[in-house]
Amino acid sequence: MRSPIPDYLNQVLDTCGADGSGELAAYIPELAEADPDRFALALATVDGTVYGVGDDEVEFSIQSISKPFAYALALAQHGLDRVLEKVGVEPSGDAFNELSLEVDTGRPLNPMINAGALTVHALIDDETVRRGFSAFAGRELEVDEEVFTSELETADRNRAIAFMLRSHGIVEEDAQEVVEGYTRQCSVLVTVRDLALMAATLANGGVQPVTGQRVVPHEVTRQVMAVMATCGMYDAAGDWFSSVGIPAKSGVAGGLIGALPGQAGLATFSPRLDRHGNSVRGVQVFERLSRDMGMHLMEVPPPARSLVRGRTALPGGRPGHGWTYELQGSVNFVGMERVLRYLADEPPTESTVVLDLTRVHEVRDIGRRMLIEAVRRLVLDGHQVTIVDPEDMLEAFPDDHADGDLDAGDGVAVPVLRRR
């Protein structure tokens, strides 16, 4: 069978391709020369498959889409507290190049506007940027020297911002050098395929889906995607998050990325921009994808069924019966709360209790800790507890074959079996 996904993506390009409205970014001479009709879309899954359609191999400068990745690298290098001292996380509601700083602290409001991005850039060196971006993309990326020179010649506004940051003591480095480095960061050449993989690396918790390299720590990606969700689309961030609901970032060369946590990275390229500086057709594509594929993050999932219980034969061919609780779906906080409530309201009436995880597809850290606490309390109440965990969700097995023990604390060791 031929996968229908590229056909679907091509169809999305066809339907959104007709709109010729919007303007090229004119304030950077080299960008004003771009071919306005270029149009591309790519989707990268967190397990490393990339679908690209249209002009998906055409390179363009990354521009402001560099901001979340530079922010990620700064967070990885310095930690959240140090970075927060310099740059806040509040949406500004202003244009990307506004000379705005927080009134009491002098910090730029967020890392997605230029004031914040210049400050973030000053925290990392050029080599970190080049190597880091390449690691996110999974290939060596290069700078477009023409775009770089062209933008640097007309970068007076960014110079003004950098000098203002220095005057507030937020940036200590040489203002001209910071602008130069930041402009270089914005001139890195990418395709939509690169961008989709860079976004997928964020969506995958910091591990590049194709190379398997851990680029940034897991907690960094949560911070970056949260800031993309609230501040990524310039002064249209609220509009964007309610209609599309995907953490995103746009750039003035016409690129647009979205990172859907745990699922995929998306990227479009179409150079004509709306009055906020976001790609006109890119926004349309994202609206369409979000609607068709149910990608809005605030979409409420169907309620999870978390527990069935009953009296069954004991696992492992042991004689006798036990009171079995069969857990289902995701063992997260809400799922385990229901389990704990059942156990508290209607305690098991037989001394042998079996917790069966055969139909569980995911165990979150909080769910694991709640489950272990439930086990510990059942044992202290005098029950004999056995856990059935064929997929080793609790990571209790010493190797692939043997049954194991779960240390529930207070000297309580609970047998974990592979089979019912």
Give the interface with ligand GLU as residue ranges (CB under 6 A). 63-64, 96-97, 114, 151, 158, 186, 251-252, 277
Q: How far is the CB of 181 from ligand GLU (least distance, A)?
A: 12
86 catalytically annotated: no
Q: How far is the CB of 252 from ligand GLU (least distance, A)?
A: 4
The catalytic residue among 12, 46, 61, 64 is 64
Q: How far is the CB of 235 from ligand GLU (least distance, A)?
A: 12
Distance CA 233, CA 235 (A): 6
Q: How far is the CB of 190 from ligand GLU (least distance, A)?
A: 13
64 catalytically annotated: yes
Nearer to ligand GLU, 66 or 208 (CB): 66
Distance CA 182, CA 121 (A): 6
Nearer to ligand GLU, 64 or 221 (CB): 64
Q: What angle do CA 63, 67, 68 make, to 5 degrees?
A: 130
Distance CA 55, CA 117 (A): 29
The catalytic residue among 92, 182, 227, 375 is 182
Alpha carbons within 13 angstroms on the beta-carbon side of residue 214 total 7
CA dihedral 366, 368, 371, 372 (to 10 degrees): -110
3-state secondary structure of 287: helix
Q: Which of 367, 247, 242, 258 is nearest to 299 (CA)?
A: 242
Q: How far is the CB of 258 from ligand GLU (least distance, A)?
A: 16
Contact 138, 197 (CB under 8 A): yes
252 catalytically annotated: yes
Report which residue's Cβ sits closest to ligand GLU.
Answer: 64
The catalytic residue among 12, 46, 61, 67 is 67
Q: Which of 284, 298, 294 is nearest to 250 (CA)?
A: 284
Nearer to ligand GLU, 64 or 92 (CB): 64
Q: Which of 336, 339, 330 is nearest to 304 (CA)?
A: 330
Structure tokens at 193: 């395929």
**Pairing of β 384-388 and β 404-407:** unpaired
The catalytic residue among 179, 224, 252, 339 is 252
Nearer to ligand GLU, 158 or 270 (CB): 158
Contact 246, 266 (CB under 8 A): yes
Nearer to ligand GLU, 237 or 252 (CB): 252
> Residues 6 or more apart from 139 whose CB is under 8 A from it?
194
Beta strands, E only, 23-94: 40-45, 50-54, 60-61
250 catalytically annotated: no
Nearer to ligand GLU, 151 or 356 (CB): 151
Q: How far is the CB of 273 from ligand GLU (least distance, A)?
A: 9
Query: H-helix or E-strand containing 322?
Result: strand 321-331
Q: How far is the CB of 158 from ligand GLU (least distance, A)?
A: 5
Distance CA 336, CA 370 (A): 7
Contact 277, 271 (CB under 8 A): no
Nearer to ligand GLU, 30 or 356 (CB): 30
User: Which amino acid would we find at residue 228?
Assistant: M
The catalytic residue among 234, 360, 388, 416 is 234
339 catalytically annotated: no
Provide the annotated active-site residues: 64, 67, 182, 234, 252
